[in-house]
A and B are shown apart, each in its own frame.
Chain A
Amino acid sequence: MLLDYDRLGWLRAALAGFTALVAAFLLLPVIFIVLLSFGSSRWLAFPPPGWTLKWYQELLADPAWIDAALTSARIAAMVAILAVVIGLLASFSLVRGEFRGRQLLRGLLLTPMVLPVVVFAIAIYAFFLRIGLAGTTTGFVIAHTILALPFAIIPIATALEGFDKSIEDAAIVCGASPLQARLRITLPSIRIGIFSAAIFSFLASWDEVVVAIFMASPTLQTLPVKIWGSLRADLSPVVAAASSLLVGLTLALMVVTALLRRRLSR
């Protein structure tokens, strides 16, 4: 009976109540930050004594914030492209290859997701210091691509596993070259996986803090590094404004994802 929604009795009310509480716990901090960003108190008093847009004005008038956001966007876009291309090629091997050590290779390519980021951060930082890539865009893109790769491989490989290869073979039998068949038959069929891979690898770079803290230089800062610096200094409401814009971006991404998925899966 415990798994029958309609026959749970009082337990259902208890579980539903608890679930509602946890949902509130998950949602409240996000709503709270957005409300706070419009509050007029510099000391983040809540409820705010009045409402204002001045933190947004302060944020948008500060070139350091704009620069950081643009840097993040540029790096994350490059990471997404690289991770999807490299991840796509790797996924074909991982899913269809018939060679010894395939499972080992899969494990190896997914390891960056499991290793604590701080270990990778100081390792790549030391390495880049030696070869002169620390504090450069190239360095950022390489390091973030390593971290994003598992998030690109998993959805693409999953989609590829669910794709019936005989359709691709049929195209080849009908005269398409193997490359044509892959580009025109297989890729469109796994586009949801590719699309998820792009979103996940973009976010993996866009939200990445730890590697970025080490890699950043005074002239090259990503948005998380800028926020991190502000948080360590004081709890300025400008951070609330920046955070709210990030929440808005997350919501937009969720909506776009949902819409595109619906459309692509038709």
Chain B
Amino acid sequence: MQGNSLRRRSIAGLPAGSGGALPALTLVGLFFIVPVVALLLRSVTDPEPGLQNYAALFGSGTYVRVFLNTFLVAAVVTVVTIIVAFPVAWMLAIMPPALGSIVFGIIILSMWTNLLTRTYAWMVLLQRTGVINRALMGLGIIHEPLPLINNLTGVTIGMVYIMLPFMILPLVGTLRAIDAMTLRAAALCGASPLQAFRRILLPLSLPGIAAGGLMVFVMSLGYFVTPALLGGTSNMMLAEMIAQTVQSLLNWGLGSAAAFVLLVVTMALYAIQLRMVGARRLGGGL
């Protein structure tokens, strides 16, 4: 310490400054890496060594349908979320802060509200005798209750509701970073609003849309709670199938194999996202 306390010292031969990460590293190594690796090993050893779990997974029409459905739901949710989020983010990026903070407050309130509470609200709202069906029938728009729950419609509504804040908040940042001058210049040079939107605003916000969209897609792929409660048995998603295979069928080998597939797909998409936004900026918007 004497005289050069500012110099970094190496503790017990560890690289300088890495000591603080030891508790975190131990915890994550022991209770995250080890269990996940053990689970993945189980997919090729349980009930006996070999690839039979993967053969069962990709050879069965039921499971392939679960995969396809998972991608379909995630894609639909992502597209709808982008379309709904963009105008809101656009407005939030330019509106007076006093008004904007009300909208931000509502977004944060919905985001922080317990996930099960939000899903429960949609279960009640969307059911056969729920408010939405009654209102539509009362207005004479429909005569029979619409099937809004336990199908793709229900999952999409519930998931878009949950994903919107994750798309809106980063997009506001992207849109705020765009120089309003470029659009003024476009207008001065005779571009119609539609042209200015298509040739300037949209291309400039595309990185934000792509990054946010990919995040929503990845989160939707592995989502469990909302699809399990709002979806139907005929369009089960991968996460629910994994949970069921392990919890009800006690088929750990098959469940582990399905988990491995989900892990690989998620991590691959995550890696793409990291390249797009840069590792340092990831999660910066908390």
Contacts and interface: CB of A to CB of B under 8 A. Distances in A.
Interface of A: 1-5, 8, 11, 15-16, 18-19, 22-23, 25-27, 29-30, 32-33, 36, 43-46, 85-87, 89-94, 96-100, 102-103, 105-127, 142-143, 145-146, 149-151, 153-155, 158, 169, 172-173, 177-178, 196, 200, 203, 207, 209-210, 213-214, 224, 227-228, 231, 235, 239-240, 243, 246-247, 250-251, 253-254
Nearest to B187: A1
Contacts of B187: 1
Given A2-B196, A3-B178, A118-B239, A209 B115 contact: yes
Contact of A149 (B28, B88, B262, B284): B28
Interface of B: 1, 5-6, 8, 15-25, 27-28, 31-32, 34-36, 38-39, 42, 84, 87-88, 90-96, 102-103, 105-110, 112-125, 127, 129-131, 134, 161, 164-165, 175, 178, 180, 183-184, 186-187, 193, 196-197, 200-201, 218, 221-225, 229, 239, 242-243, 246-247, 252, 255-256, 259, 262-263, 266-267, 270, 274, 279, 282-284, 286
Contact of B87 (A15, A86, A149, A228): A15
A210 B221 CA distance: 15
Contacts of B184: 1, 4
Nearest to A1: B187
Contacts of A25: 161
A93 B193 contact: no
B20 A117 contact: no
A46 B124 CA distance: 10
A126 B251 CA distance: 12
Contacts of A100: 15
Nearest to B181: A3
A158 B284 contact: yes
A119 B6 contact: no
Contacts of B229: 231
Given A16-B91, A112-B32, A154-B286, A253 B24 contact: no
A86 B266 contact: no
A4 B25 CA distance: 48
Contacts of A102: 18
Given A3-B93, A111-B32, A119-B242, 16 more contacts: A33-B124, A89-B20, A90-B21, A98-B15, A99-B17, A110-B282, A110-B283, A112-B32, A121-B243, A124-B32, A209-B224, A224-B116, A235-B127, A239-B120, A250-B112, A254-B109
A227 B164 contact: no
B243 A4 contact: no
Contacts of B252: 126
Nearest to A104: B279
Contacts of B165: 26
Contact of B125 (A29, A91, A142, A177): A29
Contact of B243 (A1, A118, A142, A207): A118
17 contacts: A2-B197, A3-B93, A3-B94, A3-B175, A5-B96, A11-B193, A29-B121, A85-B23, A86-B23, A109-B24, A117-B224, A149-B24, A203-B112, A207-B116, A210-B225, A227-B114, A253-B112
Contact of A98 (B8, B120, B127): B8
A26 B259 contact: no
Contacts of A90: 20-21, 23-25
Interface of A (DSSP majority class): helix
Contact of B16 (A87, A97, A121, A209): A97
A142 B26 CA distance: 12
A1 B94 CA distance: 11
Residue of B92, B102, B180 with highest tally of chain A CB at under 10 A: B180
A111 B222 CA distance: 14
A101 B196 CA distance: 44
B111 to A, nearest CB: 9
Contact of B263 (A85, A106, A116, A124): A116
A19 B93 contact: no
Contacts of B28: 108-109, 111-112, 146, 149
Nearest to B135: A46
B286 A155 contact: yes
Contact of B131 (A11, A46, A246): A46
A116 to B, nearest CB: 3
Q: Which 10 A-B pairs have the closest CB atoms?
A: A116-B222, A97-B17, A99-B15, A29-B121, A127-B35, A93-B21, A90-B24, A3-B180, A243-B117, A89-B20
